A and B are shown apart, each in its own frame.
Chain A
Amino acid sequence: MPAVKTRSTKIAGRASFYLGVIVLLCICLFPFFIMLMTAFKGSEEAISRNPTFLPKDWTLQHFIDIFNPAIFPYLHYLQNSFIVSVTASVISVGIAIFGAYALSRLNFRGRLAINASFYTVYMFSGILLVVPLFKVIAGLGLYDTKTSLIIVMIVQTLPTAILMLNSYFETIPKDLEEAAKIDGLNRIKVIFYIIIPLSFTGIVSVFVYCFMVAWNDFLFASIFFSGAENFTLPVGLYALFSTPDYVWGRMMAASIITALPVVIMYAISENLIKGNVTDGGVKG
């Protein structure tokens, strides 16, 4: 029963659809709006009994304060977070490329078993292993070092990185590899000259995934570090939040700057992939 749609019902339908999208976005983005606005409010206004949506007096003071080491060790935590996240991601992706290549291209006994075990490990980790990993790290004499977090972050991301890369490699035509082999390239050269360049966007998105996991980790950072010297952003900020003299605007400014690297990286990797894969012909 094909309904006859008049012009006005069509317009009404479109309008209600857009209204739905706007309501949805408002709900999704409300906390971000509050975060952003509070970061630009003066300290008094942030704790007013009659909260304002937009700041009465806009100020950049909180952003200046968090980058002032005399007020807030934010820069120090930021640096620690970068060291841990970049190191862990580079190593994890590097190791995963070879592992994923072996799983997607080579014939060997136990391939399926290894694949299945990576998938199992991908599902179970984190809090389930926190006690034994704490003991392993302490046993290795790595307690309260950045190395401890780097190692654990590599292992936390490795199974996923291998599974993700594996599926990217599967999309590369095997003919290309055969042709390269006829031209005299060995397997290792094939990885460097064919596989890595062709799956570059995939590798970037796996890197972003690893970076995000390490950047966001609170659990392991909170048990591996005893002093503020090695604190990454999540533990550092949480420790500050628990003290009585936090300033909301400052915490919001810190939250924004903490989120920025991952959000930017995610946006870039999304666009890279979008540019590579046809979007089903639907443009919007």
Chain B
Amino acid sequence: MFKVKRETSDGKLALILLLPSTLLILLLIGYPMLSNFYISFFEQPINPEFPAEFVGFENYIETLTNIDFYKSLGITLLYTLLVVVGSTALGLYVAIMFNRPFRFRKVARSLIILSYVTPSISLIFVWKYMFNSGYGIINYIGRDILHLFDRAPLWFDNPTSAFILVVLFAIWRYFPYAFIAFLAILQTISPTLYEAAEMDGANIWQKFKAVTLPAIMPVMLTVITLRTIWMFYMFEDVYLLTNKVNVLGVYLYETAFAFNDLGKASAISVILFLVISTLIIAIRKKVNLNASS
């Protein structure tokens, strides 16, 4: 209020500086988000030569009464839950492990991050190769060395084993994200806090609960929220690894580009959007409650 003049001059410059980014985002994210709603009310093939036909809520009704959608939703929720829990827990465990100085720590840290940095496509090939049912190294180890099974399962062609593998792949690939975030925050915790807790006779678990957990809570909240969102609409990794795990990202993609139904795909993305928003709000509320108690 006191700086009216300054505010207006800044406002003009801010408008100029922010114009390109805001315009692009409005045009290519804001508009598409709204047009998603619009398209979802039409029967809309990919080919623009065919006219769109208004169908009202039919796309939503068809989606919400289709058992495949609920199967896909269930798989996606389970996939998200397992990957979020697995990658967060592993990331935290490894970060605690690395929160002490040791030789080659820097090198080890860089090597751990490798799976997170490498493009999906490169990783997909080697996983498919390793789990090849005929000559894959995993079958060799399981069958000929450990004798866990006589006949190798068709790893990526069986819905159950394929699901386990996409979960393991995602945990392996994404835990370094949690690891980096946790390591950074752990290094800011003063060792005197642990020493004080030790003086009071706290054991490892009590120290973790009293010192580590409260300090890392905000980071944990962010890691969990973002990872939940990202896993919930995961498409690439699952689609490239197998065609037996129909997570919602894949379901949406196939509806649009394999079954030629853009309208229904839009309806699915609107539903997805609502589910993710609800999830985020739920996570935030839950963690806030815990933090205040």
Contacts and interface: CB of A to CB of B under 8 A. Distances in A.
Contact of A237 (B46, B121, B136): B121
Contacts of B3: 107
Given A136-B28, A218-B240, A270 B21 contact: no
A131 B39 contact: yes
A173 interface: no
Contacts, number: 238
Nearest to A29: B111
Interface in A228-275: 233-234, 237-238, 241, 248, 251-252, 255-256, 258-259, 262-263, 266-267, 270
Contact of A106 (B14, B172, B198, B233): B14
Interface residues of A, number: 89
A280 B187 contact: yes
Interface string B1-40: 0010011001101110110111011001101110110010
Given A131-B265, A162-B21, A155 B28 contact: yes
B68 interface: no
A181 interface: no
B20 A95 contact: yes
B276 interface: yes
A107 B115 CA distance: 41
A2 interface: yes
Given A49-B135, A99-B18, A218-B120, A187 B32 contact: no
Given A109-B11, A114-B22, A223-B257, A234 B17 contact: no
Contact of A216 (B106, B120, B272): B120
29 contacts: A1-B201, A27-B172, A28-B172, A31-B123, A46-B135, A98-B20, A99-B20, A103-B18, A106-B11, A107-B3, A114-B22, A121-B29, A124-B229, A127-B235, A127-B249, A128-B272, A130-B252, A131-B39, A132-B32, A138-B48, A158-B25, A187-B13, A216-B120, A251-B129, A252-B126, A255-B121, A255-B123, A255-B126, A259-B119
- Chain A to chain B: the 6 pairs with minimum beta-carbon distance, closest first: A284-B105, A132-B32, A255-B122, A99-B21, A102-B17, A108-B11
Interface of B: 3, 6-7, 10-11, 13-15, 17-18, 20-22, 24-25, 28-29, 31-33, 35-36, 39, 46, 48, 94, 97, 101-106, 108, 110-115, 117-123, 125-130, 134-137, 140, 144, 172, 187-188, 198, 201, 226, 229, 233, 235-236, 239-240, 249, 252-253, 256-257, 262, 265-266, 269, 272-273, 276, 280
